Amino acid sequence: MNVSNKKFRVHVLQGTTGSGKTLVYFEALKPLIERGLQGLILLPEIGLTSQFEQKFLEYFGFKPAVWHSGISKKKKELIWSGVSNGKIKIIIGARSSLFLPFKKLGMIIVDEEHDQSFKQDEGITYNARDMAISRASFENIPINLITAVPSIETFENIKKGKYEVSRLNERYQNAALPNYEIINLNNTKLEKQSWLSNKIIEKVNLHLEKKDQVLFFLNRRGFSPNALCNKCFTSFTCPNCSINLVYHKNKNNLLCHYCGYRSDLKRNCTKEGNCEFIFSGPGVERISEEVKRKFPGKIIEIFSSDTMNKKDSKEKIDKIINKETHILVGTQLISKGFHFPSLNCIVVVDIDLSSQGHDLRGAEKNLQLYHQLSGRAGRTGKPATVYFQTYENNTKMISEITNKNPDIFLERELEIRKKNKLPPFQRFISLILTGDNEIKLEKEANNFKNFIENKIEGKILGPVNAPLFRLKRKFRIRFLIRGLKSMKLQSSLAKIIPKYKFSSGIKLSVDVDPINFN
């Protein structure tokens, strides 16, 4: 990693999970601090920095300053002044730490550079990784992007020679990567209201006998994603968004994961009396209940953003490290950089590779997620296995996304993108119109398209109803503009949009290089 050269350049440190990437960039920061310069480490999930802080303290002998939306106003003031007078040497932060007034910033590190959380979709839309590269360029300092599986954009920049790259191909102390086993659910009958096959129960028991920790992975929060009345068959959707309410059993309420709307379970039924709920499909709470039934006497912990952003998350992580917790049931939050020494068995409850058609990044996201996830297992050298339960017969796809060398998959994905003129070979700009009145919004969308269509340096697709058509009581219609990767497209849009007068109550949001297509 570049330390001596103080000029701007982008360097990618690509290392297999558990290869010691963190120690490599700590090493690069050390001489910087000794020279009186400052360093910024951007992390995607800041609510879970306790393990990282501990690692930092052990290495440097002092605590870093942590910056994110959850810290108190008083603490923010202290950090702000400490950064601006140069007393605070290292900041570990979420996206917003990028805008702190560093006195002598010497290096920026973006850990897990591929992570979707670096993109801010609400309010001011920006990608913190790209902004970090811009800031490093303005400051004329080096920036290091750290990842196990680079984003397609970063991978293409490495191929073009725009970014330098170093690779760590072996895990720390030569620990082996986990083995994979596919359990075909078409060959095994699941019991009613059960999501775990008998074969999985057998396998997990073998691991528990060996004192291995076990993780059941399902990327769905709550108890069940669908609540339905058994008498009137009404499905309970959010009144503000076109999305199902998710049942959270531990809070005993229905919750919208988009706008935060909550509702209790008491509903008047159109048939008679109150609705009788049935729940279809599992979330982590439901899997946790089944795990408790199947493995009595074991200590089980749910690991999701509902349970881990509280004050006791450090305690929970310590219990996992100290083997006090036997079984984890977690969402994708657990895939982000944790080190659990005894975790040697991961069960992917349902690997769904069909990924909704409206997301061009579906394959890339799956590759990153399952690489990161399997990287949690077998980190201390004991043999480890990741089990995939699936109804799909596409075992080739599973072996591709779990291949030790992710570059093979990324190369092919780039070919597909190039052939179909998709990012990073063309630029996409997403435009979303929102309004209270559906008919008025549709009319406005057509007028807007006619107004800008021949005045921009690109092709406009749409208008279409957004996949998430109603959000926070507003209807949403989207356009996608595609064009060559130059500033001409943005410039032509920036010129024309202010000339269009939107009807009252209609709002336009613009997202350059969108990551989500909801």
Closest by CA position to 473, among listed 261, 220, 293: 261
Q: Please report the pLDDT score of residue 309 as a whole number.
A: 66
SS3 state at 461: strand
Cβ burial, residue 206 (10 Å; 0-12/13-18/19+): exposed
Q: What is the DSSP string of 250-293?
A: TTTEEE-TTT--EE-S--B-SSSSB--EEEES--HHHHHHHHHH
Rounded to whole angstroms, how far apart are CA atoms 458 and 343? 50
The neighbouring-strand residues paired with 478 are 432, 464
Q: Please report the pLDDT score of residue 358 as a whole number.
A: 60
Torsion of CA 392, 396, 398, 399, to 10 degrees: 150
Closest by CA position to 22, among listed 45, 48, 46, 55: 55
> What φ, ψ does residue 12 adopt, rounded to 5°?
-105, 130
Residue 89 neighbours by CB distance under 10 Å = 21
Judge whether 485 and 275 are in contact, CB under 8 Å: no
Residues written for the chain: 518
Q: Please report the pLDDT score of residue 299 as a whole number.
A: 95
Q: Please report the pLDDT score of residue 193 as a whole number.
A: 84
Q: Would you kindly state where each structural domain of the chain is located, as residue ranges?
A: 9-172, 175-221+283-416, 224-281, 427-512
Rounded to whole angstroms, how far apart are CA atoms 269 and 262? 19
Longest dimension (CA), the chain: 76
Q: Please report the pLDDT score of residue 402 as a whole number.
A: 81
> What φ, ψ does residue 460 adopt, rounded to 5°?
-100, 130
Closest by CA position to 213, among listed 375, 326, 330, 320: 326
Q: What is the DSSP string of 295-359?
A: STT--EEEESHHHHSSTTHHHHHHHHHTT---EEEE-GGGGSS---TTEEEEEES-------TT-
Rounded to whole angstroms, how far apart are CA atoms 90 and 247? 41
Rounded to whole angstroms, how far apart are CA atoms 92 and 46? 8
CATH number of 427-512: 3.30.70.600
Residue 4 neighbours by CB distance under 10 Å = 6
Rounded to whole angstroms, how far apart are CA atoms 25 and 362? 30
The helix or strand, by DSSP H or E, that contains position 470, with its residue range, turns out to be strand 459-471
SS3 state at 516: coil
Order of strands across the sheet that contains 253-255: 246-248, 253-255, 262-263
List the alpha helices (DSSP H) in 109-248: 128-139, 152-159, 198-209
* E strand residue ranges, 35-133: 38-42, 65-67, 90-93, 105-111, 119-120, 126-127
CA distances from residue 62 to 59, 85, 89, 94, 101 in whole angstroms, order as listed: 8, 18, 10, 20, 22
Homologous superfamily (CATH) for 175-221+283-416: P-loop containing nucleotide triphosphate hydrolases (3.40.50.300)
Homologous superfamily (CATH) for 9-172: P-loop containing nucleotide triphosphate hydrolases (3.40.50.300)
Which residue type occupies 453?
Answer: E
Q: Please report the pLDDT score of residue 3 as a whole number.
A: 47
Q: Please report the pLDDT score of residue 471 as a whole number.
A: 94
Give every residue of the chain whose pLDDT is below 70, as ranges: 1-5, 47-48, 309-311, 353-358
SS3 state at 152: helix
Q: Please report the pLDDT score of residue 48 as a whole number.
A: 62
Q: Please report the pLDDT score of residue 315 as a whole number.
A: 82
User: Same CATH fold, 175-221+283-416 and 9-172?
Assistant: yes
Rounded to whole angstroms, how far apart are CA atoms 436 and 118? 30
Residue 289 neighbours by CB distance under 10 Å = 16
